[in-house]
A and B are shown apart, each in its own frame.
Chain A
Amino acid sequence: MASIKDITLGQYYPTESVIHRLDPRVKLVVTLGYILSLFLITTVPGYLLAALFLILWTGLSRVPLRFMLRGMKAVFLLLVLTIVFNLFLTPGEVLFRFWKLSVTREGLRTASLMATRLVFLIVGSSVMTFTTTPNHLTDGMESLMHPLKRLHFPVHEIAMMMSIALRFIPILMEETDKIMKAQMARGADFESGGIIRRAKNLVPLLVPLFISAFRRANDLAIAMEARCYRGGAGRTKMKPLIYQTRDLVAYGLLLLYLVLSVVIGRDLLHLQNLLTGVLAWRI
């Protein structure tokens, strides 16, 4: 029963902070930039830089760490699998063995780096969803994807679908909770039995849930038509996104971070090889 409420990944955490006030476009770009940097970085100082950035990013957001780590529970298994596979299956110089498994120096290195990367990735991107309301997020996406309109890509429609889908998540979750309780009041059991039995027991939950989803979709469509909704053409916004000084500062910091992460985070020799390779190819 507690499972539904425990999912914090992708949940807004209302509080006052600089990060909360940032333009959603900035937060999207910063998140993408940060993810990119994590894949660029290969050296230990680079990871320290990424950690520094993450501490700043999460610290400024004022979302309690406890709350963020709760979201990590959902991906804990993935994390463990990543560590285990990298630790035991990377070939190289053997450090020690037990039973049939051997741990190599390379394995240890890859496992720890991969785990760090994964944790940074999840925490870094969850800051965005913790500090941005779904509506803001889709506004930001719509604005960022605007150039694609020239290619006849239905940007507005997709943004609208996304915001509707996001809007419905809490509603359907609440509905699930309600129907579950109503059926439990009729003696339904969602918690015991084998996998087939459990799947069967979900019918009394899923049928009403689907019916209610369709009913709500229908109501919403009628309400939108009643207000003359006809897609994005000529539509203006009540609260258009406008960049403030803090947003530009954030962009500047991101740029600085990205440059630094290339300089510190890449193996310079490797970078040189890459550059000469590109140059050779150009010539």
Chain B
Amino acid sequence: MTLEFDHVNCIYDAETNQPVKALSDVSLTIGGGEFIGLIGHTGSGKSTLMQHANGLLKPTGGRILADGTDIWSRDYDRRSLRARVGLVFQYPEHQLFETDVLTDVCFGPKNLGKSAKDAEALAKEALEQVGIDKSQFALSPFELSGGQKRRVAIAGVLSMQPEILILDEPTAGLDPRGRKEILSLVKRLHREKGITVVLVSHSMEDVARFADRILVMDHGALLLNESPASIFSRRETLQQIGLNIPETLLLLDELRRAGLGTDDPAMPLTPEDTAEVILSWLQ
């Protein structure tokens, strides 16, 4: 499915003397099995944008179209939209509430009207995808480690079989190993299941490695909407809004400035690839 934002505006607390413009005139399209990175500072409107994507927030101006239909038109079934556009909030493990892992993951499919048996099958499949072992299905979600809890929570959304999966800072508060696990999980879901993924983050490194397209938000506006290569060529623009290009590219930039290396447009995004580029320069 494709989701289209058509000049979307959002103003919080419109009636007080301190209205906050959270989104201003955002237009973009999400879909087609792409891997999209959404980047911006705290308060830049990332979370607000996501919550518009599945109809949790209503835009104060503009339209949001799902496969061409306005999701705020009168008879539109927003609950089924929420199944198709899966939204994983920040610290999703905070929403776990059931007595055991499997039942918690069943919550979503059951809400969609699936039978107990079907819900369980979907839950098991989702748990398997996120790498939770069968032996842990009957545990209380509160007995798991931080990284495991988060994967269970992500399974809770996956079990609804979304066509678009939006993850808000899925690696926040995890140790490097947990981060790596979550990111490779997201990558695998995208590759194997063909789901459109939107990865929201304030870390350029996390996003840079996987995204086909990067959205940059600043003060509620969509500043850039381009391919990573094109985004990374705009170092000044990014730095102006307090962001930066990935550390690997930053290092190469500094080396070039110091007179080492060539002007070849190499864009290594992993430390290993960067090392190789530098090695080739040295030879």
Interface residues, chain A, CB within 8 Å of chain B? 13-15, 64, 66-67, 178-179, 181-189, 203-204, 207-208, 211-212
Contact = CB atoms under 8 A, between A and B. Distances in A.
Given A179-B94, A182-B87, A204-B95, 16 more contacts: A14-B18, A67-B15, A178-B89, A181-B89, A182-B92, A182-B95, A185-B88, A186-B108, A186-B157, A187-B82, A187-B107, A187-B110, A187-B112, A189-B111, A208-B94, A208-B95
B149 to A, nearest CB: 12
Contacts of B51: 181
For A13, A64, A183, the residue with the greatest tally of chain B CB atoms inside 10 Å of its CB is A183
A184 B156 CA distance: 12
Contacts, number: 66
B252 to A, nearest CB: 40
B134 interface: no
A186 B16 contact: no
B54 interface: yes
A49 B179 CA distance: 67
B3 interface: no
19 contacts: A15-B17, A64-B17, A66-B15, A178-B94, A182-B89, A182-B95, A186-B107, A186-B108, A186-B156, A187-B79, A187-B110, A187-B111, A187-B112, A188-B111, A189-B79, A189-B111, A203-B97, A208-B94, A211-B142
A108 to B, nearest CB: 36
B160 interface: yes
Interface string B76-105: 000100110011110010111100000000
Contacts of A187: 79, 82-83, 107-108, 110-112, 160
A117 B18 CA distance: 32
Contact of A185 (B16, B89, B97): B89
B260 interface: no
B95 A183 contact: yes
B56 interface: yes
Interface string B51-81: 1001010000000000000000000000100
B107 A185 contact: no
Nearest to B113: A187
B198 to A, nearest CB: 13
B54 A185 contact: yes
B97 A204 contact: yes
B106 to A, nearest CB: 10
Given A67-B15, A181-B89, A186-B160, A212 B94 contact: yes
Interface string B21-65: 000000000000000000000000000000100101000000000
A178 B168 CA distance: 13
Contacts of A14: 17-18
B8 to A, nearest CB: 18
Nearest to A15: B17
A64 B79 CA distance: 38
A91 to B, nearest CB: 45
B186 to A, nearest CB: 17
Contacts of B156: 186
Contacts of B79: 187, 189
Nearest to B85: A185
A15 B17 CA distance: 8
Contacts of A67: 15-16
Contacts of B142: 211
A188 to B, nearest CB: 6
Contacts of A207: 97
A116 B89 CA distance: 47
For A15, A182, A203, the residue with the greatest tally of chain B CB atoms inside 10 Å of its CB is A182
A99 B250 CA distance: 85
B158 to A, nearest CB: 11
A188 B157 CA distance: 12
A208 B15 contact: no
B168 to A, nearest CB: 10
B82 A184 contact: yes
A-B pairs, 4 with minimum CB distance: A187-B111, A207-B97, A185-B87, A186-B108
Nearest to A206: B97
A211 B18 CA distance: 32
Contacts of B89: 178, 181-182, 185
A181 B94 CA distance: 12
B17 A186 contact: no
A233 B211 CA distance: 57
Contacts of A64: 17
Nearest to A1: B56
Contacts of B110: 187
Nearest to B57: A181
Interface in B100-149: 107-108, 110-112, 142
B92 A204 contact: no
Contact of B56 (A13, A179, A185): A185
Contacts of A181: 51, 56, 89
A203 B96 CA distance: 11
Contacts of B108: 186-187
A237 to B, nearest CB: 28
